[in-house]
Each structure stands twice: as C-alpha cells, then as structure tokens.
Amino acid sequence: MTVSCLQGHMFSSAESRDWFQPLPGEQIAMRVESHHTGGAFSLTEIIVAPQSGPPLHIHTDADEVLYVLEGTVDFICGSEQFRTGAGGFAAIPRGTPHAFRNFEAQPARMLVMLTPGGFEQFMPAMRGRPMSDVPDLARSFGMEIVGPPIAAPAQAA
C-alpha cells in the first residue's frame, strides 16, 4: 500500500492496494492504517466470499462502521438482524455484539472503518496462523469472540 502525505493530507491511488487473506473467505486491503492517522482511525477494504463472515464478536475499545460497496450483506448488531446492499451500512458502537455474513452467490465488498485505529493490525497478524489462534490473538487487539457466525439470512420485512 502506498499512502502519500502532502501538507497534512493523505492520498492513495486505487492501484496501490495489496490484497491478502487473513481468514478463510475474506480478502483484505489496508487503505489507511492507524499509524497514518496518529491512531485516530483505520480504513480497510474487504471482499467477503459467498457464505462467509466472522463470528459474533465485540470490539471492546473501538467503534466500527461497515459500508457496503457491492453485493448484499446481512448484519447482526445487538439483538437486531438486517440485510442491506450497496450504499447501506452498519455503525456499531464499541461493546456491541455484532457480525456480518454474505449469504449470496457473489462476493460482497465493503469499507470498514474503526476508531480509534489499531485493530486493523489483527488482520496481518493472522496471516499464516491456524484458526485456533483467532480467539487469543483477537483478544490482544481488543476483540472478543462471543458467538457463532450468523446462521441464516434476515427475513424480509
């Protein structure tokens, strides 16, 4: 990833993305890391494969916004489950149990912002590690796994 800072502003070209797979079913590109923002926030781009998504979890020290760019994504936030497509988002306060999942046949793409930043470093730390390392490593980055992935799509209203 190439980020240029000019007079306190940051710029990055679309071509500068370095994609990697930290967890099965997720491709990640770091867009803005917390070290670029003095810890204020991080921004990642994620492609979620069909039938993929993380387990129910809590960020203990960060607020999270997930913005859907392409595809359809189901979210659980607290006790509510909803489905949204491109242009929809979920804004999740720290301490709120949440998860997302792509139940469609095509990949979904999202931007994910966490504030303050820091959690984004969990993703590269997971590269090449067994899934059994996820709970302990996640905890060291302020995240707790509190349940399974979303089991079924949201019901139409």
**Cβ count within 10 A of residue 134:** 19
Amino acid (one-letter) located at 104: E
- 120 membership: H or E segment, kind and range: none
What are the boundaries of each domain within the chain? 15-145
Q: What is the pLDDT of residues 73-126, one digit of tens each?
A: 999 999 999 999 999 999 999 999 999 999 999 999 999 999 999 999 998 898
Provide the pLDDT for residue 18. Answer: 83
Answer whether residue 15 shows pLDDT above 80: no
Domain 15-145 CATH (choose: 2.60.120.10, 2.160.10.10, 2.40.50.100, 3.10.450.50): 2.60.120.10
Residue 153 has pLDDT above 90, yes or no: yes
For residue 153, whether the previous peptide bond is cis, meaning omega lies within 30 degrees of 0, is: no
* 40-72 tens-digit pLDDT: 999 999 999 999 999 999 999 999 999 999 999
What pLDDT does residue 6 have?
47
How far apart are alpha carbons 74 and 72 in whole angstroms? 7
* CA pair distance 109, 74, nearest whole angstrom: 12
CA nearest neighbour of 62 among 98, 26, 17, 25: 98
pLDDT at residue 22, as a whole number:
84
Residue 16's pLDDT is 61
